[in-house]
């Protein structure tokens, strides 16, 4: 990222470096209800952009800067039993080249590269272990435009039964450095580093729910995990993991919104 600092904790983002998580998008069974939930929880504003007959794409914003989006799941996705979920986008310089390289490395191309009007070009991919993600070649729209404040993307974890295979795939595709943290961590958690920035991780396969399909879990930065979790519960969310503290890391919770889309709330520990 190339952030422009305006006040402590907040950064406006004018460009995403290749390999950065650059956009998040909610596919939901009830777009109107989901819009109300996230606006109430995070204080997001929303603007609906027409996509076709009786369809619209909701753009969410924080402090006037893009924070994510939502759309109604397609009928074929619902028919296949795909639940409401968050889509994660990763920045690339060329979507066609990235898609071709991903296929060579063992990924499935679920949606070949296509233009999204004049704002960018993208492709939807499934990694060799089964997790779905998208690549984004920015044109007029870079993606998430703000970081460091309540309700903004701050991290993403890959839940996969084969961390070693996944680590090799993403390292080869994006040039990520993936490995144990600087401090000794007996859990086996792998940290994802893009350039100089740590952006996410891969928990050990033994720690995941074997019944859950491989997926990317996005994390939202919040000012108070307990208060946000309580608010989310009041709004109809349920919790896979109630608020808990990870020593030396921060406090977090994993929630499912009223339509079932899963994400995490996170606040980093204060460092001396």
Q: Are residues 98 and 43 in the same domain?
A: yes
- This prediction's pTM: 0.94
In a domain, 157, yes or no: yes
The Cα 107–Cα 100 span in angstroms is 9
Q: Are residues 37 and 81 in the same domain?
A: yes
Mapped onto helix, strand or coil, the DSSP state of residue 19 is coil
As a whole number, mean pLDDT of residues 171-196 equals 88
Burial class (CB in 10 A: 0-12, 13-18, 19+), 143: buried
pLDDT of 194 higher than 50: yes
Q: Dump pLDDT digits (tens) for 47-61.
A: 999 988 889 999 999
Q: Are residues 132 and 207 in the same domain?
A: no
Q: Domain boundary residue among 138, 163, 185? A: 138
In a domain, 144, yes or no: no
pLDDT of 69 higher than 70: yes
Overall number of domains in the chain: 2
CA angle at 209 for the pair 204 and 215, rounded to the nearest 5°: 75
Q: Are 220 and 45 in contact (CB under 8 A)?
A: no
pLDDT class of 263 with cuts at 50, 70, 90: very high
Q: Are residues 119 and 187 in the same domain?
A: no
Q: Quote the domain boundaries for residue 9.
A: 3-138
Angle between helices 225-234 and 31-42 (to 10 degrees): 150
Average model confidence (pLDDT) across the chain: 93
């Amino acid at each position: 990222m190339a952030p422009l600092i305006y006040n402590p904790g907040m950064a406006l983002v004018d460009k995403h470096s290749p390999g950065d998580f650059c956009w998040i998008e909610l596919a939901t069974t009830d777009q109107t209800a989901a819009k109300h939930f996230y606006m109430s929880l995070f204080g997001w504003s929303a603007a609906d952009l027409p996509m076709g007959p009786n369809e619209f794409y909701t753009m969410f914003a924080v402090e006037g800067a893009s924070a994510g989006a939502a759309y109604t799941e397609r009928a074929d996705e619902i028919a296949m039993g795909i639940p409401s979920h968050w889509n994660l986008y990763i920045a690339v310089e060329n979507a066609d080249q990235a898609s071709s390289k991903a296929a060579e490395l063992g990924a499935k191309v679920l949606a070949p590269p296509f233009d999204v009007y004049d704002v960018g070009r993208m492709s939807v991919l499934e990694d060799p272990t089964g997790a779905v993600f998208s690549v984004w070649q920015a044109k007029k729209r870079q993606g998430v435009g703000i970081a460091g404040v309540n309700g903004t993307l701050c991290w993403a974890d890959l839940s996969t039964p084969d961390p070693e295979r996944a680590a090799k795939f993403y390292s080869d595709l994006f040039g990520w450095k993936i490995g144990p943290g600087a401090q000794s961590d007996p859990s086996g958690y792998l940290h994802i580093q893009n350039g100089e920035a740590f952006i996410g991780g891969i928990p050990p396969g033994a720690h995941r729910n074997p019944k859950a399909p491989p997926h990317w879990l996005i994390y939202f930065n919040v000012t108070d995990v307990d208060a946000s979790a309580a608010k989310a519960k009041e709004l109809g969310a349920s919790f896979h993991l109630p608020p808990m503290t990870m020593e030396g890391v921060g406090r977090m919770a994993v929630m499912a919104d009223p339509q079932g889309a899963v994400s995490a709330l996170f606040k980093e520990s204060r460092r001396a």
